[in-house]
């Protein structure tokens, strides 16, 4: 018997191909997911949320950020409606790639206010050292003071902390003892347990050699020792190495009080599902782009329907691997493009001018993969907007 084929919709457009030709692409039948969480979740799941730029602001995008605060907060409301938490002012929000610390703190302040208005919706916020220029960091004490300043600012507005990786520490930290000095000092002062973020250098080249070595096995030894030594101060660790086996290995070594939050945008479905020895929770940039599908899939997993979980989340993985392909640090362009296609913002303009960071071919393939996974909430609108972008880039769609 032939495998059943999904019906094709009546929508079509002309998309460029890698060989330079143009094809007529016909959309598949769309899937629909609930706009609000149905049921419960048995995983803690965060979406690292993007910021919506203000396209009418008279700024130079490479030099300063202009944020549409209403649309930015509205997107967080969308995420909370789906039962997901918001990881605020992280790299997905273009922290360090267009979003500076003062703007990040305003974003955190506004989001905390919105979360509290909903009865303390789940939200953690990034605290790092990015207001300290790497060239100005002369000692580990400089790094510690920078962390302390941002942590105090986030806690003052009522926020929970995600302890972000530090470019300054990557420059100055030479060995495990240096990292232990910084993390032990900082963690001893936090008001509530934090999430520690291990961000790989594929996301930020300035973090090469984090934990004092380029040897990832030794780096993990250092990270695990620091985390387990401060387990009472650590809610969990988010690992963004795009290496599922390393995440599994680390997960099995963590103190039982410490959660593993997968940051693996290549292998999240199987890591969240887990195995006989455990599972990962989630803190993912891709959950910004696929929030309705992620919410529904997670609700199926909680209901004991693992097949339903994989049926929904599995087809999203090829899209995520495409969005996060090397150079991985430009993944934010794909995340924001999905928000544009799905009507969460009225333009494809980004903080820092990052809408230019991916090619037309990349965006065309993103559209195909999103369609095949049933992730275009309104296919007519998405097709219209894809055509507009193609026209702007010289392709009559």
Give pLDDT tens digits for 229-244: 999 999 999 999 999 9
What is the pLDDT at residue 7? 54
Percentage of the chain beyond pLDDT 70 is: 97
Residues 6+ apart with CB under 8 A from 119: none
The pLDDT mean for the chain works out to: 96
The dotted CATH code for 37-357 is 3.20.20.70
Buried b (16+ CB within 10 A) or exposed e, 26-53: ebbebbebeeebeeebebbbbbbbbbbb
To 10 degrees, what angle do helices 379-392 and 360-372 make? 170
The 10 Å Cβ neighbour count of residue 345 is 21
- CA distances 40 to 34, 107, 217, 239, Å, are 13, 29, 37, 25
- pLDDT exceeds cutoff 90 at 19: yes
**Are 140 and 146 contacting, i.e. CB atoms less than 8 angstroms apart?**
no
Residue 238 parent element (H or E): strand 234-240
pLDDT digits (tens, 9 = 90+) for 317-341: 999 999 999 999 999 999 999 999 9
- Look at the chain and count its residues: 397
Task: Flag whether pLDDT at 6 surpasses 50.
Answer: no
Contact 130, 167 (CB under 8 A): yes
| Residue of 279, 285, 236, 308 whose CA lies nearest to 93 | 285
Least confident range from 7-21, 66-80, 135-149: namely: 7-21
Residue 180 has pLDDT above 50, yes or no: yes
Name the pairing type of β-strands 22-28 and 8-16. Answer: antiparallel
pLDDT digits (tens, 9 = 90+) for 60-118: 999 999 999 999 999 999 999 999 999 999 999 999 999 999 999 999 999 999 999 99
Mean pLDDT, residues 343-370:
97
What pTM was computed for the model? Answer: 0.95
Judge if the upstream peptide bond of residue 349 is cis by omega within 30 degrees of 0.
no
Q: Look at residue 4 in the predicted model and tell me its pLDDT.
A: 40
End-to-end CA distance of the chain: 37
Q: Taking the CB of residue 89, how many other CB atoms lie within 10 A of it?
A: 32
DSSP assignment letter at 389? H
Rounded CA separation 88/161 (Å)? 10
| Closest of 202, 216, 223, 236 to residue 321, by C-alpha | 202
Q: pLDDT > 90: what percent of the chain?
A: 96
Would you state the pLDDT for residue 8? 58
User: Distance from CA of residue 292 to its chain's centroid?
Assistant: 15
Nearest to 87 by CA among 49, 43, 128: 49
**Is residue 268 a contact partner of residue 262, using CB atoms and an 8 Å limit?**
yes
3-class secondary structure, 67: strand
- Measured between alpha carbons, how far is 104 from 94 in angstroms, rounded to an integer? 9
Is the pLDDT assigned to residue 3 strictly greater than 50?
A: no
Q: How confident is the model at residue 9 (pLDDT cuts 50, 70, 90)?
A: low
């Amino acid at each position: 018997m032939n495998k059943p084929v999904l019906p094709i919709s009546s929508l079509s457009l002309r998309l460029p191909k890698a060989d330079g030709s143009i094809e007529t692409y016909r959309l598949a039948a769309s899937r629909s997911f609930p706009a609000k969480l149905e049921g419960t979740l048995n995983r803690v799941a965060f979406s690292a949320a993007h910021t919506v730029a203000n396209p009418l602001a008279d700024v130079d995008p490479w030099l300063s950020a202009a944020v549409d605060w209403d649309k930015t907060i509205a997107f967080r409301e969308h995420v909370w409606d789906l039962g997901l938490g918001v990881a605020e002012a992280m790299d997905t929000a273009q922290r360090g790639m267009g979003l500076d610390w003062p703007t990040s703190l305003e974003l955190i302040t506004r989001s905390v206010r919105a979360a509290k208005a909903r009865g303390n919706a789940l939200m953690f916020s990034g605290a790092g050292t990015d207001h300290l220029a790497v060239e100005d960091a002369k000692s580990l004490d400089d790094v510690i003071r920078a962390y302390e300043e941002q942590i105090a600012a986030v806690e003052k507005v009522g926020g929970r902390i995600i302890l972000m990786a530090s470019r300054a520490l990557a420059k100055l930290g030479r060995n495990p003892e240096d990292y232990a000095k910084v993390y032990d000092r900082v963690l001893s002062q936090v008001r509530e347990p934090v999430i520690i973020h291990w961000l790989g250098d594929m996301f930020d080249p300035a973090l090469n050699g984090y934990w004092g070595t380029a040897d990832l096995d030794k780096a993990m030894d250092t990270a695990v020792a620091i985390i387990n030594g401060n387990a009472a101060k650590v809610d969990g660790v988010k690992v963004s190495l795009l290496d599922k086996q390393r995440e599994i290995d680390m997960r099995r070594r963590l103190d039982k009080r410490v959660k593993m939050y997968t940051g693996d945008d290549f292998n999240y479905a199987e890591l969240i599902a887990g195995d006989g020895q455990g599972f990962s929770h989630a803190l993912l940039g891709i959950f910004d782009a696929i929030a309705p599908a992620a919410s529904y899939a997670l609700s199926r997993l909680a209901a004991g329907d693992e097949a339903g979980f994989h049926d929904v989340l599995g087809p999203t993985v090829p899209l995520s691997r495409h969005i996060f392909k090397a150079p991985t640090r430009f993944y934010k362009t794909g995340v924001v493009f999905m928000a544009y296609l799905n009507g969460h913002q009225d333009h494809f303009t980004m903080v820092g001018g990052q809408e230019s960071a991916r090619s037309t071919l990349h965006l065309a393939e993103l559209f195909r993969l999103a369609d095949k996974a049933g992730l275009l909430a309104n296919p007519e609108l998405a097709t219209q907007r894809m055509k507009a972008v193609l026209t702007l880039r010289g392709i009559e769609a």
